[in-house]
Amino acid sequence: MTESVHLKLKVAKILDLAEPDDRVSKFIDLFILGLIFLNTIAVALETVNPIFNHYYREFRRFEQFSVFVFTIEYLLRLWSCTIIPKYRHPILGRLKFMFTPLAIIDLLAILPFFLSLYLPLFSPQFRLGRSVRLIRFFRVLKLNRYTDSLSILVRVYRLKKEELFVSFFVLVVLLFISSTLIYFIESPAQPEVFSSIPAAIWWGTITLTTVGYGDVYPVTILGRIIGGILAILGIGLFALPAGILASGFSEELAARKAKKRGIDVIICPHCGEDINSPPHYEESSE
267 forms beta bridges with: 274
Cβ neighbour number for residue 201 with a 10 Å cutoff = 18
Report the pLDDT value the prediction gives residue 128, as an integer from 0 to 100: 45
Query: Distance (Å, rounded) from C-alpha 195 to C-alpha 172?
Result: 20
Query: Distance (Å, rounded) from C-alpha 132 to C-alpha 144?
Result: 23
Report the pLDDT value the prediction gives residue 263, as an integer from 0 to 100: 56
pTM for the complete prediction?
0.59
Report the pLDDT value the prediction gives residue 189, as an integer from 0 to 100: 92
- Measuring CA to CA, which residue among 97, 106, 100, 111 is closest to residue 140? 106
Apex 273 CA angle, 270 and 151, nearest 5 = 95
Homologous superfamily (CATH) of 3-147 is Voltage-gated potassium channels. Chain C (1.20.120.350)
Domain ranges in the chain are 3-147, 148-286
Report the pLDDT value the prediction gives residue 180, as an integer from 0 to 100: 92
Apex 124 CA angle, 118 and 130, nearest 5 = 110
What does the pLDDT profile of the chain (286 residues) look like in tens digits?
566 778 888 888 777 765 667 777 778 878 888 888 888 888 788 878 899 889 989 988 998 898 899 899 889 989 988 888 888 888 999 999 999 888 888 887 788 777 777 666 555 544 444 455 556 666 666 666 666 666 777 788 888 888 888 888 888 899 999 999 999 999 999 999 898 998 899 999 988 888 878 888 899 999 999 989 988 888 888 788 888 888 888 887 787 777 766 655 555 555 555 555 544 434 444 3
CATH second-level architecture of 148-286? Orthogonal Bundle (1.10)
DSSP string covering 111-168 = HHHHHHHH-GGGSTTSHHHHHHHGGGGGGGGGHHHH-SHHHHHHHHHHHHHHHHHHHH
Report the pLDDT value the prediction gives residue 126, as an integer from 0 to 100: 47
Report the pLDDT value the prediction gives residue 4, as an integer from 0 to 100: 75
